[in-house]
Amino acid sequence: MTQFLNAITLLVHDYDQAIAYYTGKLGFDLIEDTRLSEDKRWVLVAPPGAKETRILLAKAANNEQGKSVGNQTGGRVFLFLQTDDFRSDYQRMKTSGIDFCETPREEIYGTVVVFQDLYGNKWDLLQLKTP
């Protein structure tokens, strides 16, 4: 039996604003944008070339959910964007206005830098060392 994570929900304030950020600034692909009701859409984005896991951009539906936008993990790094060309992706993201929290650093597992998305969620951009 094979299993994998199909999608991870990311709460957002506005669908179109989030789509613009993830496709425009991060360079993700818009996989699907289907209207489910007047207020709800099924919006999936993913890094180019991603084969399995997508991000479901879910508009906060009430005040409680709205309070969690940008802080889904209590200030910890939430998502890990792995690359095979750290320097190029870092430069492209920097040029497109991504908000980096630090300068890139070398760790025993690879090269990493923390950035924040438009809502303040923290991400790692990382390139793992090859064994």
Q: Please report the domains of the chain, with CATH numbers, ordered by start residue.
A: 1-67 (3.10.180.10), 75-131 (3.30.720.110)
Structure confidence at residue 102 (pLDDT): 98
Give the chain's end-to-end CA distance (angstroms, integer): 27
DSSP-assigned letter for residue 52: S
- Quote the mean pLDDT of the chain: 96
pLDDT bucket at 131, cuts 50 / 70 / 90: confident
pTM given for the model: 0.92
Structure confidence at residue 40 (pLDDT): 96
- Give the Cα separation of 109 and 91 in Å (integer): 21
Structure confidence at residue 130 (pLDDT): 86
Contact 51, 101 (CB under 8 A): no
